[in-house]
Homo-oligomer: A and B are copies of this chain.
Amino acid sequence: MRFFSDNAAAACPAVIDALAAANRLDTAYDGDQWSLKLNRAFADVFETEVEALWVTTGTAANSIGLAMLCPPTGAILCHREAHIENDEAGAPAMYNGGAKLMLLDGPGAKVLPETVEAACARIRPDVHQVQPAALSITNATEYGLTYSPAETAALGDAAKARGLGFHLDGARFANAVVSTGASPAELTWKAGVEVLSFGFVKNGGMNAEGLIFFDRSHAEQARVLRKRSGHLLSKGRYLAAQLLAMLDGDLWLANARAANAAATVLAKAAAGRLVYPVEANELFVRMSPEEAAAIRALGFDFYDWAPGEVRLVTAWDQDMEAVAALAKAIEAL
């Protein structure tokens, strides 16, 4: 019974069905009938015109998106715990020719507007120092916290005041939408976000992520960079079909709702042990090594995050009986 990572879960049945349905000859690259429907489908989700590209990984989405916002000579502000800093092997620097990540602090991997402003204020506006060019935040964060529309908009304002582009890493965007109850629009372009990495793989997709440009002027160069980075698959329809299947009937929200619900059950059980409030599908739980061992002995699998702290992640297909059993085991500690 794995509570290790939503990364490792299976793809949902609708995705598998969509692949089979797309399995016929069509135009290569992104000229097929599925790819051509993406702009429309995501425009409906976001209530505004967008340019929507498929890519296979969040790292590619983040890197291509950020390369549109930050020149090689600039810097991207992000949290010290951001995925782009910690878990992408320096991909953003590779994609935009060597840009720097400027690291911000803050509890729960959340960035505050005043932190952005303070970081910018520390930089002398001269040629000797790398100048900030973009802000990237993650919703839900690496610690499972969410930004509300108001919080996002305040960051959008801080970015705008300094002339920074604004990118949202939405590897778990679906979980944030479900958790906040806000609309996709409120959490993105209405709050100033120009580019969104819209995650599907952790939420039941197989290998397709969305890269959404609210500032559509970036899309042309982004398509060039997608090709240049080897991310323009020749049979792109199998990615587009996944995204369409998950948008259809709001399956993406249903999946996220299921993952969040499982996390909520565990959060109640672990109430006294939580390092952060549980606002999405991740829990960081204080647990001694002995306690962790006891839980593992019952057949549960999870990540040792830090000394005395474990991480539990729930996925779209988490077995609710296993969840109940784990909740019970935690309560029994």
Contacts and interface: CB of A to CB of B under 8 A. Distances in A.
A98 B89 contact: no
A246 to B, nearest CB: 14
A234 B130 contact: no
Contacts of A11: 23, 235, 238
Contacts of A229: 60, 91, 94, 229-230
A2 B231 CA distance: 25
A26 B8 CA distance: 6
A89 B233 CA distance: 13
Copy number in the complex reads: 4
Interface size classification for chain A: 35 or more
Q: Which 10 residue pairs are nearest across A and B when measured between Cβ atoms?
A: A60-B230, A97-B97, A59-B230, A93-B98, A89-B228, A127-B227, A7-B28, A7-B234, A89-B227, A8-B28
5 contacts: A7-B235, A89-B228, A93-B100, A94-B94, A97-B98
Interface of A: 2, 5, 7-11, 16, 19-20, 23-29, 55-61, 63, 71-73, 75, 86-91, 93-101, 127-131, 201-202, 206-207, 221, 223-235, 238-239
